[in-house]
Structure 1
Amino acid sequence: MLGDIFERDNLDWQTRELATVGMLSPLIGVEPQLQAHMRISMNTGITQAQLERLWQILKVGVDEQAGNRATSALERHLASMASPSR
């Protein structure tokens, strides 16, 4: 269960977020949560380059659709940061 990752105290926040993004990416219909965790990941100090590397790994190691969902979520998050309303 996803919540189990956050209940334990054996992973730092960055590792928890990378695990969360990795678990959400293969799932269909959780795009808003995936985008939110892209934001949270960056708030914990994970860089855009690290998240881009993660989606490359997902494309090869999981499947292309998982990598594409992660890519789209990261792009949507970055676009929201660049919008004038922020």
Structure 2
Amino acid sequence: MLAAGTANQARLAGGPVEGPLFDFAPAANEYLRTHLFGDIFERDNLDWQSRELATLGMLAALPGAEPKLQAHMRMGMNAGLTAGQLHQLPALLAGQVDAGAAGRARDALARHLATQAR
């Protein structure tokens, strides 16, 4: 599962995932690679786009998770979601969750798309 998870994580992130956090706590990244990106993403009960939409909705509902929300906007697009599909998410969240979640999703998508334009 570690090998599959490492490949899945890199595909979703758009490249290898590394940095100071993982240098400081390498066991955390190994857990993420093995369990989340390996065990869970290898299941066939949801496609990757559906998993990312569920993750985006959950992160948008959590104030303070904006950096992760923006990262998952990128991951969602790497999983095959389009900008048009992601533009529909804030409206759905406004009706089903609240205006705060919708605003966080809208802002994260705008920041992500701005980085793509550079």
Q: What TM-score do you get using the length of structure 1 for normalisation? A: 0.86
- Gaps of at least 5 residues in structure 1 are none
Structure-1 separation of matches of 2:72 and 2:108: 9
Does the alignment pair 1:16 with 2:51?
A: yes
Whether 1:54 aligns to 2:57 is no
Q: What is the one-letter code of the residue matched to 1:38?
A: M
Q: 2:40 aligns with which of 7, 13, 35?
A: 7
**Deviation of 1:77 (Å):** 0.2
Deviation at 1:16, TM superposition (A): 0.3
Match among 102, 107, 118 for residue 67 of structure 1: 102
CA RMSD after TM alignment: 1.3
Query: Secondary structure at 2:55's aligned position in 1?
Result: helix
How many residue pairs get aligned? The number is 79
Higher RCO (CA 8 Å, separation ≥ 6 residues)? 1
4+ long deviations beyond 4 Å: none
Distance in 1 between the 2:82 and 2:91 partners? Answer: 14
For residues 22-53 of structure 1, the C-alpha deviation after alignment (integer angstroms, 9 at most, x for no partner) is: 11101011101000000000111101111111
> In terms of Rg, which structure is larger?
2
Distance 1:31 1:54 in 2: 15
1:67, distance to aligned residue in structure 2 (A)? 0.3
SS at match of 1:15: helix
Residue 34 of structure 1 corresponds to which residue in structure 2? 69
